[in-house]
């Protein structure tokens, strides 16, 4: 049995309620949203940004992610130097658009990390995030966050 990872996200009150009640449905739009985020440039030499808005009350919400979901969101967040909460908030905003919910989901993702050297002398690691179009004939039961081992 796969265990979910428990963490927390910070969201405005209304979005926190929506997230708690419809998280699985919202996460089905994750690949589309993350592919949109990958159009942005990687950010370096800047500090992390958070989804704080003046005058808005934010709520810390405990949530569960599969390992694939957790690793994928953290990879994108680290590359863009934003918080995972910011990504989740953006995903909720995308999901709230009725025109976006009408579009069928065509992509799945696969996150893979490999550590070549990790000790007191040095740290070398590689992370890969691959998206591919779901082929209903080849993978009829594939869910968007399922992973298929990548040949390296």
Query: At CA 19, angle to CA 54 and CA 106, rounded to 5?
Result: 115
d(CA 100, CA 94): 7
Higher pLDDT, 141 or 91: 91
Note the pLDDT of residue 151. 45
Note the pLDDT of residue 1. 46
DSSP output for 4-55: PEEEEEEEEHHHHHHHHHHHHHHHTTHHHHHHHHTTSPP--SS--B----TT
Average pLDDT over residues 117-141: 74
Count Cα atoms within 13 angstroms, Cβ side, for 102: 3
pLDDT of residue 136 exceeding 60, the answer is: no
Note the pLDDT of residue 105. 63
pLDDT of residue 14 exceeding 50, the answer is: yes
Where are the chain's structural domains? 5-103
Note the pLDDT of residue 102. 62
pLDDT of residue 152 exceeding 70, the answer is: no
d(CA 65, CA 30): 12
d(CA 30, CA 95): 9
Percentage with pLDDT > 90 across the chain: 26
- Nearest residue to 113 via CA among 100, 96, 126: 126
pTM above threshold 0.85? no
Here the tokens at position 36 are: 């949109």
- Nearest residue to 110 via CA among 50, 151, 52: 151
Here the tokens at position 92 are: 């909720």
The mean of the pLDDT values for the chain is 80
The mean-pLDDT minimum among 12-26, 51-65, 102-116 falls in: 102-116
For 101-116, how does the pLDDT look when each residue is reduced to its tens digit (9 = 90+)?
666 666 777 788 887 8
40 touches 80 (CB < 8 A): yes
């Amino acid at each position: 049995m796969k265990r979910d990872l428990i963490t927390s996200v910070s969201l405005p009150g209304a979005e926190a309620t929506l997230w708690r009640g419809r998280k699985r449905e919202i996460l089905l739009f994750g690949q589309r949203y993350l592919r949109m985020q990958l159009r942005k440039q990687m950010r370096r030499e800047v500090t992390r940004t958070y989804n704080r808005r003046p005058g808005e009350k934010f709520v810390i919400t405990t949530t569960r992610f599969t390992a694939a979901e957790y690793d994928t969101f953290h990879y994108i967040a680290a590359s863009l130097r934003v918080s995972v909460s910011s990504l989740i908030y953006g995903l909720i905003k995308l999901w709230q658009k009725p025109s976006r919910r009408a579009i069928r989901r065509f992509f799945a993702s696969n996150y893979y990390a490999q550590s070549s050297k990790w000790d007191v002398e040095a740290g070398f690691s590689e992370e890969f995030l691959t998206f591919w179009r779901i082929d209903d004939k080849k993978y009829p039961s594939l869910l968007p966050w399922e992973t298929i081992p990548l040949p390296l």
